Homo-oligomer: A and B are copies of this chain.
Amino acid sequence: MSDLQGLAERLRQFVQAREWEEFHTPKNLAMALAGEAGELLAEFQWLTPSESSTVMEDPEAAGRVRGEVADVMLYLVRLADALGIDLIEAAHAKLSESEQRYTVRDYRGSARKAPPLP
């Protein structure tokens, strides 16, 4: 069992033990995921770009950031599980598409300022 499968299984048991399945429709899980992404944003919204690069050096901020990143991860794993999506496979497939669309030739350096990733 991979790390991700282990996490998904532990999440399933967490939800089942509390009989919370009815709340975990994909619609609700997508909302919860976006809500947590918003909380993660809040940790960075007033920081300058370079302050954001050193945010993990402050133990209090690091704890909060780690917690919010964890929340996003938990809901993403849960949602993928509910939808039958293999996260690693889907991510690699999307990255392959991006490699085709944003070729090194056309997008390297200052030649073309393009949105990194998708």
List residues of A whose CB falls within 8 A of some B CB: 2-4, 7, 10-11, 14-15, 17-20, 23-28, 30-50, 52-53, 55-56, 65-67, 69-80, 82-85, 87-88, 90-95, 98-99, 102, 104, 107-110, 113-118
Complex alpha-carbon distance, A116 and B70, angstroms: 15
CB atoms of A25 and B3 under 8 A apart: no
Q: Which residues of B contact A34 (CB under 8 A)?
A: 31, 34-35, 37-38, 40-41
CB atoms of A94 and B109 under 8 A apart: no
Min distance, Cβ A54 to any Cβ of chain B, angstroms: 9
Q: Which residues of B contact A24 (CB under 8 A)?
A: 116
If over half of A's interface residues share one DSSP class (helix, strand or loop), that class is named, otherwise mixed; here it is helix
Return 24 A-B CB contacts under 8 Å, by A number. Answer: A7-B88, A11-B117, A14-B95, A19-B108, A25-B52, A26-B55, A27-B31, A30-B52, A32-B45, A32-B116, A33-B40, A34-B34, A35-B41, A38-B39, A38-B41, A38-B42, A56-B85, A69-B80, A70-B91, A70-B93, A73-B76, A73-B80, A73-B87, A74-B94
